Amino acid sequence: MRARPQTHYFSPAPLAPSRPRVVELEFRGRHFRFVTDRGVFSYRGVDRGTRLLLEALEFGPEDEVLDLGCGYGVVGIVVATLAPRARAVLVDVNPRAVELARENARRCGVSNVEVFHGDLYAPVQGRKFDVIATNPPIRAGRAVVRALVEGAPAHLKPGGRFYLVARTAQGARTLGRMVAEVFGEAEEVERGGGYRVYRGRKVSGV
């Protein structure tokens, strides 16, 4: 018998047969419904780490927010909904996730979003954001996560903030140290349910 091809949520071309489903999220008095599918992260429901990231995230009414590794679009779409004059830019390497994020933006009725397919910062080269938020693809490997953290300052405006959530059991503290190394310091701004959220701030010279 031939082995079935292995794919992961971060695979550029997920081979898992499609089986769409709807997951729901209550956040800040709003009700969200997202279509998700097999072969994307957090198929069963919005990840607890993603929710903690949203709780930690501070953004202004007109901020430009990059949701890096957007999956089916939870973070960027919630930001775009809560701040209709803000702009959310969503990027993912997984084309199925990108399709879902576009569909979810449409279904949620937000037009202040842009969704791009591509590797890390490649689709937003030359652009700078007030906020970058990520629930990083730990399983894609350390090199990818390091490139994600190291690439952040170049894509932030002065004073811009970088938020990263990770599971304590999957090396969140190590990632917190990585954020501190890249930004000069990192603050643990939220902790709960086995996850931690770190924030780095771009000061001049970083």
Ligand X SMILES: C[S@@+](CC[C@H](N)C(=O)[O-])C[C@H]1O[C@@H](n2cnc3c(N)ncnc32)[C@H](O)[C@@H]1O
Q: For binding to ligand X (CB under 6 A), which residues are involved?
A: 9-10, 41-42, 47, 50, 69-71, 74-75, 91-94, 97, 119-120, 135, 137, 140, 144
Q: Which of 105, 102, 101, 91 is nearest to 135 (CA)?
A: 91
Closer to ligand X by CB, 53 or 186: give it: 53
Smallest distance, ligand X to C-beta of residue 167, A: 10
Closer to ligand X by CB, 19 or 203: give it: 19
Closer to ligand X by CB, 74 or 131: give it: 74
Closer to ligand X by CB, 116 or 184: give it: 116
Smallest distance, ligand X to C-beta of residue 204, A: 27
Smallest distance, ligand X to C-beta of residue 47, A: 5
Smallest distance, ligand X to C-beta of residue 141, A: 9
